[in-house]
Amino acid sequence: MKNTILIFACFLFLFNTACNKPDVENMSISIQPYIGVSLNVIDSVSSALSRTYHTDVNILREKPIPESAFTNIKLPRYRADTLIHILNAQHKKNTINIGITDLDISCTKKAANGKVKEPTSKYRDWGIFGLGYVPGYACVISTFRIHHKDKKVFIKRIQKIAIHEVGHNLGLNHCSTKGCVMQDAVESINTIDQEGMNLCSSCLRKAGL
């Protein structure tokens, strides 16, 4: 069962110095649902992003998750960095594309020196909640590791993850302010449950909101 899987995941992001930061005043957000995601999840994410970033949110037609992102290094998963590359190639001018899937996603977690974090067997293909470029025009989130018997808790989790990853696209790094939605999850779902739904004043200013 998905809700019994140990949560070995965290909010992760990739630096992408080649990308320009989206123009907040004129940007829009497009949600790309991959087949299997419920309408309730999609609508909840849409409303949270619209409220937080004061922008139009478009919901695209659902499609199968690209098989080119599939990997089976440790478990059957989809590489988040590959999905972002595909979403980034599809984005329209000044639009952030956010992919949503119910399937497990992963990336390679690296240490400060740029090498794969030790132990490499654990972090070479690391299961995550979401991934976004800093800055960038694409991110991806997954419900696979965040299910909860309380549907309200589950919805809040996916909304926070979506807000967090789009925040990375807008140039925000992890925040040390307690309660800010941009806090690092430090490999625990508990961090997400304890943080708020909003950006702190410092992150709002840095994002240009």
Confidence of residue 8 (pLDDT cuts 50, 70, 90): very low
pLDDT given for residue 57 in this prediction: 96
Q: Beta partners for 11?
A: 130
User: Residue 152 class from Cβ within 10 Å (0-12 exposed, 13-18 middle, 19+ buried)?
Assistant: exposed
Angstrom distance (rounded) from CA 159 to CA 179: 15
Confidence of residue 18 (pLDDT cuts 50, 70, 90): very low
pLDDT given for residue 70 in this prediction: 97
Q: How many CB atoms lie within 10 A of CB 64?
A: 8
Angstrom distance (rounded) from CA 128 to CA 13: 10
83-118 tens-digit pLDDT: 999 999 987 888 999 999 999 999 988 888 989 889
Q: Which of 115-119, 131-135, 186-190, 203-207 has the lowest mean pLDDT?
A: 186-190
Confidence of residue 10 (pLDDT cuts 50, 70, 90): very low
Of these ranges, 7-21, 33-47, 184-198, the one predicted with the greatest mean pLDDT is 33-47
Query: Residue 72: phi, psi to the nearest 5?
Result: -140, 50
User: Could you tell me the two tokens for 58?
Assistant: 């478009």
Angstrom distance (rounded) from CA 170 to CA 60: 21
Is 168 in contact with 132 (CB distance < 8 Å)?
yes
Q: How far apart are the first and last CA of the chain?
A: 40
35-73 tens-digit pLDDT: 999 999 999 999 999 999 999 999 999 999 999 999 998
145-163 tens-digit pLDDT: 999 999 999 999 999 999 9
